[in-house]
């Protein structure tokens, strides 16, 4: 369980991937609403 293990956070950081153990940054609901409002 180290850098080569993609099921761990360290492994995902090393591989540069996202998933359940290392979720990608998600914009908040307020930020999404502002973006949609700005687009209109």
Residue 2 lies in a domain: no
Render pLDDT for 9-20 as a digit per residue (tens, 0 to 9): 888 888 988 888
Residue 34 lies in a domain: yes
What is the pTM (predicted TM-score) of this model?
0.49
From the centroid of its chain, how far is CA 26? 6
Q: Is residue 25 within 8 Å of 35, Cβ to Cβ?
A: no
Give the chain's domain count.
1
pLDDT at 28 over 80: no
pLDDT at 34 over 80: no
Share of the chain above pLDDT 70, in %: 85
Q: Which residues form the domain of 35?
A: 9-39
Q: Going by C-beta distance under 8 Å and a sequence separation of 6 or more, which residues neighbour residue 38? A: none
Instruction: Give the number of other Cβ atoms within 10 Å of residue 9's Cβ.
Output: 11
Q: Mean pLDDT score of the chain, rounded to an integer?
A: 80
Q: Is residue 23 within 8 Å of 13, Cβ to Cβ?
A: no
């Amino acid at each position: 369980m180290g850098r080569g293990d993609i099921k761990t956070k360290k492994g995902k950081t090393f591989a540069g991937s996202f998933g359940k153990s290392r979720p990608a940054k998600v914009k908040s609901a307020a930020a999404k609403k502002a973006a949609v409002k700005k687009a209109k």
